[in-house]
Chain A
Amino acid sequence: MKKVLSLSFCLALASVFSILPACKKASQSGAAEDSLVVWHWMSDREDAFNNLAKKYGEQKGMKVRFELYAPSEAYMQKVRAAAQTNTLPEIYGVLGESRDFASFVNAGHVENLTPAMSENNNQWMNRFFQKALVNNQFPEGNSYNVPAGIYGVPLDVTNIQMLYNKDLFKQAGLDPERPPQTWDEFLKIGPALKKAGIPGFVSGWGELWMIDCLASNLAFNLMGEEKVLKTLKGEVPYTDPEWKRLFKLFEEFRDSGLPAAGLVTMVNKTAEQNFSSGRAAMAFNGSWCVNVYAGMNPNLNYGAFLPPAVSDKNPRVIWGGAGSSFVVNARAAQKDKAVAFLKWLSDKDQQVALAKETRNLPSTPDAIGEIPAVLGQFADDMELTTHPSRFPVSEASSVVETFNKGIQSILIGEKTAEQVSNEVQKVKEIEMKSAQK
Chain B
Amino acid sequence: MDVARLKRVLSKSSRSTLVHGVLILVSISCVFPLVWMFVSALKTQETIFSNMSLIPASPHWENFALAWTKGKFGIFFFNSLFYTFCTVVGVLLISSLAAYASSRLPFPGRKILFMLLLATMMIPVPGAFIALYVLLVKLNLVNTRLGYILPQINGQLALGVFLLKTFFDKLPRELEDAARVDGCNKLQVYYHVALPLAKPAIAVLAIFTTLAVWNEYLLAMLVLSDRNLMPLQRGLMVFQGAHITQYPLLMAGMTISVIPIVVIYIIMQRHIISGITAGALKM
Query: Complex Cα distance A11/B244, Å?
Result: 42
Are B49 and A296 in contact (CB-based, < 8 A)?
yes
Q: Which residues of A contact B90 (CB under 8 A)?
A: 12
Chain B residues 137-153 with CB under 8 Å of chain A are 137, 140-147, 149
- What's the tally of chain B residues with a CB closer than 8 Å to chain A? 47
- Given A74-B217, A277-B49, A298-B46, A1:B126 Cβ within 8 A: no
The reply on A341 being an interface residue by CB < 8 A is no
Q: Which residues of A contact B92 (CB under 8 A)?
A: 8
- What's the tally of chain A residues with a CB closer than 8 Å to chain B? 50
- Given A12-B85, A24-B140, A297-B46, A78:B240 Cβ within 8 A: no
The reply on B246 being an interface residue by CB < 8 A is yes
Chain A residues 278-295 with CB under 8 Å of chain B are 288-289, 291-292, 295
Of the candidates A24, A43, A74, the one whose C-beta lies within 8 Å of that of B242 is A43
Query: Complex Cα distance A19/B146, Å?
Result: 6
The reply on A430 being an interface residue by CB < 8 A is no
Q: Which of B142, B196, B225: most chain A CB closer than 10 A?
A: B225
The reply on A69 being an interface residue by CB < 8 A is yes
Q: Of A80-88, A142-150, A305-313, which stretch is located at the interface?
A: A80-88
The reply on B267 being an interface residue by CB < 8 A is no
Are A42 and B130 in contact (CB-based, < 8 A)?
no
Are B141 and A78 in contact (CB-based, < 8 A)?
no
Are B244 and A44 in contact (CB-based, < 8 A)?
yes
Annotate B100-138 by CB proximity to A: 1 below 8 A, 0 otherwise: 000000000000000000000000001001100110010
Are A43 and B133 in contact (CB-based, < 8 A)?
no
The reply on B34 being an interface residue by CB < 8 A is no
The reply on B8 being an interface residue by CB < 8 A is no
Distance of A369 from chain B, by nearest CB (Å): 24
Are A16 and B50 in contact (CB-based, < 8 A)?
no
The reply on A381 being an interface residue by CB < 8 A is no
- Given A12-B93, A15-B82, A1:B196 Cβ within 8 A: yes
Are A74 and B137 in contact (CB-based, < 8 A)?
no
Query: Complex Cα distance A69/B242, Å?
Result: 12
Q: Which of B50, B126, B134, B246: most chain A CB closer than 10 A?
A: B50
Are A74 and B134 in contact (CB-based, < 8 A)?
no
The reply on B89 being an interface residue by CB < 8 A is yes
Query: Complex Cα distance A5/B196, Å?
Result: 10
Query: Complex Cα distance A191/B227, Å?
Result: 55
Annotate B217-243 by CB proximity to A: 1 below 8 A, 0 otherwise: 110011001110000000001111111
Distance of B111 from chain A, by nearest CB (Å): 28
Q: A85: nearest residue on chain B (CB-CB)?
A: B137
Q: Which residues of B contact A67 (CB under 8 A)?
A: 225, 227
Q: B196: nearest residue on chain A (CB-CB)?
A: A1
- Given A87-B137, A277-B49, A9:B93 Cβ within 8 A: yes
15 example contacts (A-B, Cβ-Cβ < 8 A) are as follows A11-B85, A12-B90, A19-B145, A27-B140, A28-B143, A43-B238, A43-B239, A44-B243, A74-B221, A77-B126, A77-B218, A81-B129, A276-B49, A292-B244, A295-B246
